[in-house]
């Protein structure tokens, strides 16, 4: 299984070949509370780092999810439309948001590994 990397904005990314699966971290979903709605991009949409890629609404707030890398959306997790709570149940698994193609290992090499992300999150509390 591919290594999961994390951004300071609490997105996670897993690379398999040139396809990157992206979602929000468990920490991010805990901060949001119960997720009630997710807006995902359309397949074929191209994103660049920092672009608003999706919107997550919870009982507490709405939050944008930013693209961590350049890529083209080749798949969205349509299950989240009917079951947005999957993000709360399994944010770093079944609660993934999109799959992007055209991503290289160099694109994700600067992101934090799980240990570094854990240390980063501990500085936020």
CB 55 within 8 A of CB 39: yes
Instruction: Give the global pTM.
Output: 0.94
Taking the C-alpha atoms of residue 17 and residue 116, their distance in angstroms, rounded to an integer, is 23
Q: Would you list the domain boundaries of the chain?
A: 4-120
| pLDDT computed for residue 1 by the predictor | 52
Three-state DSSP string of 19-64: EEEEEECHHHHHHHCCEEEEECCCCCCEECCCCEEEEEEECCCEEE
Maximum Cα interatomic distance, the chain, rounded to a whole number of Å = 38
Q: Which helix (H) or strand (E) holds 66?
A: strand 62-66
Architecture of the CATH domain 4-120: Beta Barrel (2.40)
pLDDT along the chain (125 residues), means of 10: 88 96 96 95 96 94 94 97 96 97 94 96 89
CB 65 within 8 A of CB 53: yes
């Amino acid at each position: 299984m591919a290594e999961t990397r994390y951004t300071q904005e609490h997105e996670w990314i897993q690379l398999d070949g040139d396809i990157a699966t992206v979602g929000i971290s468990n920490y991010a979903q805990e901060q949001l509370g119960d997720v009630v709605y997710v807006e995902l991009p359309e397949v074929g949409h191209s994103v660049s780092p920092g672009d608003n890629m999706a919107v997550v609404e919870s009982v507490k707030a709405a939050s944008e999810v930013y693209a961590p890398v350049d890529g083209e959306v080749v798949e969205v997790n349509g299950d989240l439309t009917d079951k947005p709570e999957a993000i709360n149940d399994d944010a770093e698994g079944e609660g993934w948001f999109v799959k992007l193609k055209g991503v290289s290992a160099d694109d994700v090499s600067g992101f934090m590994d799980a240990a570094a992300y854990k240390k980063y999150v501990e500085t936020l509390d």
